[in-house]
Structure 1
Amino acid sequence: MPLPLFSRRFLIFPFLASIALYRLDTFDPALLPSDALNYSTTTLPPLSNDRFLTGAELIGVGLLNSPEDIAYHRAAGLIYTGCVDGWVKRVKVTESVNDSLVEDWVNTGGRPLGIAFGLHGEVIVADAYKGLLNISGDGKNTELLTDEADGVKFKLTDAVAVADNGVLYFTDASYKYNMRHFAFDILEGKPHGRLMSFDPVTRATRVLLKDLYFANGVSMSPDQTHLVFCETPMRRCSKYYINEERVEVFIQGLPGYPDNIRYDGEGHYWIAMPSGVTVLWKLAFRYPFLRKITGLAAKYGFEPMIFMENAGVLEVDLDGKPMALFHDRKHSHMTTGVKIGRYLYCGSLLHSHIVRLDLLKYPAQKRL
């Protein structure tokens, strides 16, 4: 959506201030690895729905404040999602969105992001400010599991997955910037992210990988041998083999910047991308001085994440081969895609609802 004339004029002032203070400020963006600047079309799938919002239904309008992640409890028929106001909310899944019920369940006092289910009915929450939480007793008990590793506090606990043996795998997107300032981590272009595990038996927190570029979504493989995790500015997802403790690329050169990744139990992962690749993002990631100007402008009121568009969800198979892309140029800040039955449910870092798309009525079709 184009900015109103007044808004465009208002945005000039932060940029003028940032240019004036360019040499004085210590904010120092780095060159990104060349992999992040590869814009080939090899990850474009054969099927696409490029009008995702056409036919999309909205759930919980006005009752869900930025529902970032989605976890579905099949037995209960409930969606759990974390909102910016601290609430973990539950949404009853029904055939008609008009019959969906939204319940305020537990307020963490922070910002719940990633959500997964433990082996004994617990709800595991990656809270950006609090750390890794265990909510049990149907919401009556909230326990902090861990909030640091190797003597370094988490600044942005992001996503979590639970293995069949109960071990929790999670990401800290940045040990330098918190959720309120996460844009600076991406603009700085330096690897502050970590992939970690927490063993509920030994209570040990292990750093599995460090020096990751904004470590984001994480998902267990169906055979439990490895994790798939996302690095947002690198536009890639990688495999971490648990027993071998080794890493290999799962998919790279994505058509957007990945957030959460979810396995659907049917042989496919769904990778949500809050924004597609745009000319502005291409230029910013190639030239650090542009990211510095943007970062300085952000200190004076400019919101760098407004330049996001063409959000979508990419469906890939177990080998990382792209299958279908659901996206829309008018949409942004899509953070999670979860397939439940014939529907795709999508969370958001910006909007006040969950988006649902009927995949049978509005399927991805062959590209022209």
Structure 2
Amino acid sequence: MTPVGVFTLLFLLLALYCGLDPFKHSAISEFPDFQSYRLDMPAWSQVPTERDTENLLQKSEIKFLNQIQGPESIAFDPLGRGPYTGVADGRILFWNGQSWTDFAYTSSNRSELCDPKPSPLSYLKNEHICGRPLGLRFDKKTGDLYIADAYFGLMKVGPEGGLATSLANEAEGVPLRFTNDLDIDEEGNVYFTDSSTKYQRRNFMQLVFSAENSGRVLKYNPANKETTVLERDLQFPNGVSLSKDGSFFVFCEGSHGRLRKYWLKGEKAGTSEILAILPGFPDNVRTNENGDFWVAIHCRRNMYTYFCALYPKIRTFLLKLPIPTKIHFLLQIGGHPTAVVAKYSPEGKLLQLLEDNQGKVVKAISEVEEKDGKLWMGSVLVPFVAVYKLP
């Protein structure tokens, strides 16, 4: 056989292997109904170009290393005690000043399946059994802790902790499948996100790859115990935070990389608008005492993700190749985990940007909570909390 013939044969065999994926190595091999959706991304020229050239987040202090797994949300109770955080094994822990103690949990079906494991991702397989508390918020009036559990929906536990009770696990007859974050107004109404009605959190990478649009923003009314849908057909809605005056709340559009404002009062009440185009893809958002919004940005945009967003058929083709999910994830985040946090005014102006663009100290931040001149940063993917002292 000629060299050309050998090359042709090898090419055909490779194409056949890629097409059949006999060893199920592709990122979507277990999802026969997988479909990619187009993302109407903002023009590249609209993406903020500001950088923290000093990598100030590298000055952060790493706390509780390997004592907690995947602390996504950081909360302090009305008396200022804490932090409290939800971890990968389904518990909510409380730092009493000397050690971490169990405070609450969301699943009544805990067993050895939920026992300690070596990394946050080790729990993915059993998250639907053990629970996965994500967003946490205290009601400042009652001391109750409200919990967005990815699998069990919107929940609440009293100031003494224990097993949380369910407040909402469906809306309009559609189950909450990926409850993500929440905030509470002065009347006790809870605004929260359901990132997808198709994919659960343990398949969050497939949700990222798909960019499917079944996400919702919802409201729970404690007076009549009803849950209503405020926004629908969203692509990975995530963090939620009320404005200081309560006239609106903002939520993150994860797949688009945007911060969106939903009006609660005034002439625009019941409508939403884009507040800011973010430099990357966000997770949670939190309001500080001045009324500004701290946004945790999981990773910056890059041309690979931008191109794939615009061409879903090419994205699906690439995902069908026998390439592990982890490799696709690294391509999505630019090669390695980094850290970016951004502060925005209520008008959507970028006020401050902090980075560790090498992921040397801080990486994959899920939330930023400002307290007493410090930023407390949690991450669903790492075994520690990072604390940065503001100048």
Return the match for 2:282 from 235, 258, 267: 258
**2:303 counterpart residue number:** 279
**1:6 counterpart residue number:** none
**Residues in 1 aligned to 2:84 and 2:16: alpha-carbon distance in whole angstroms:** 43
Q: Structure 1 residues 199 and 177 mapped into 2: Cα distance closer, same or farther (>3 Å)?
A: same
Return the match for 1:90 from 91, 94, 98: 94
The answer to whether structure 1 residue 60 and structure 2 residue 58 are counterparts is no
Amino acid at match of 1:106: A
The answer to whether structure 1 residue 111 and structure 2 residue 142 are counterparts is no
Segments of 4+ in structure 1 off by > 6 A? none
The answer to whether structure 1 residue 320 and structure 2 residue 348 are counterparts is yes
Equivalent residues in 2 for 1:67-146, closer than 5 Å: 67-73=71-77, 75-92=79-96, 101-109=99-107, 110-118=131-139, 119-146=141-168
The answer to whether structure 1 residue 336 and structure 2 residue 367 are counterparts is yes
**Residues in 1 aligned to 2:323 and 2:19: alpha-carbon distance in whole angstroms:** 12
Q: Structure 1 residues 318 and 302 mapped into 2: Cα distance closer, same or farther (>3 Å)?
A: closer
Return the match for 1:310 from 330, 334, 338: 338
* Post-superposition CA distance 1:274-329 (Å, at most 9, x none): 11112332232233234324544689654643342332110111111001111112
**1:40 counterpart residue number:** 45
Amino acid at match of 1:250: L
**Residues in 2 aligned to 1:210 and 1:40: alpha-carbon distance in whole angstroms:** 28
Secondary structure at the aligned position of 2:205 is classed as helix
CA contact (8 A) 1:161 1:220 kept: yes
CA contact (8 A) 1:260 1:271 kept: yes
**1:213 counterpart residue number:** 235
**Residues in 2 aligned to 1:298 and 1:74: alpha-carbon distance in whole angstroms:** 50
Amino acid at match of 1:183: M
CA contact (8 A) 1:68 1:348 kept: yes
* Post-superposition CA distance 1:187-222 (Å, at most 9, x none): 112211100011111100011110111010000111
**Residues in 1 aligned to 2:57 and 2:322: alpha-carbon distance in whole angstroms:** 30
Secondary structure at the aligned position of 1:275 is classed as strand
Deviation for aligned residue 1:55: 1.7
Q: Structure 1 residues 61 and 16 mapped into 2: Cα distance closer, same or farther (>3 Å)?
A: farther
The answer to whether structure 1 residue 238 and structure 2 residue 260 are counterparts is yes
**1:179 counterpart residue number:** 201
Secondary structure at the aligned position of 1:274 is classed as strand
Task: Identify which range, 235-244 or 350-359, moves more after superposition.
Answer: 235-244
Q: What's the TM-score, normalizing by structure 2?
A: 0.79
**Residues in 2 aligned to 1:74 and 1:136: alpha-carbon distance in whole angstroms:** 13
Amino acid at match of 1:132: L
Secondary structure at the aligned position of 2:208 is classed as helix
* Post-superposition CA distance 1:70-91 (Å, at most 9, x none): 1222524211111111011122
**Residues in 2 aligned to 1:122 and 1:299: alpha-carbon distance in whole angstroms:** 45
Amino acid at match of 1:247: S
**1:31 counterpart residue number:** 38
Secondary structure at the aligned position of 2:79 is classed as coil
Aligned length: 336
* Post-superposition CA distance 1:311-350 (Å, at most 9, x none): 2110111111001111112223211011111211111121
Gaps of 5+ in 1: 1-14, 94-99, 361-368
**Residues in 1 aligned to 2:183 and 2:327: alpha-carbon distance in whole angstroms:** 31
**Structure of greater Rg:** 2
The answer to whether structure 1 residue 248 and structure 2 residue 259 are counterparts is no
Return the match for 2:225 from 203, 220, 223: 203
Q: Structure 1 residues 146 and 50 mapped into 2: Cα distance closer, same or farther (>3 Å)?
A: farther
Secondary structure at the aligned position of 2:315 is classed as helix
Q: Structure 1 residues 324 and 298 mapped into 2: Cα distance closer, same or farther (>3 Å)?
A: farther
Deviation for aligned residue 1:101: 3.0
**1:7 counterpart residue number:** none
The answer to whether structure 1 residue 356 and structure 2 residue 354 are counterparts is no
* Post-superposition CA distance 1:48-82 (Å, at most 9, x none): 36524422111111111011111222524211111
Amino acid at match of 1:323: L
Secondary structure at the aligned position of 1:40 is classed as helix
Q: What's the TM-score, normalizing by structure 1?
A: 0.84
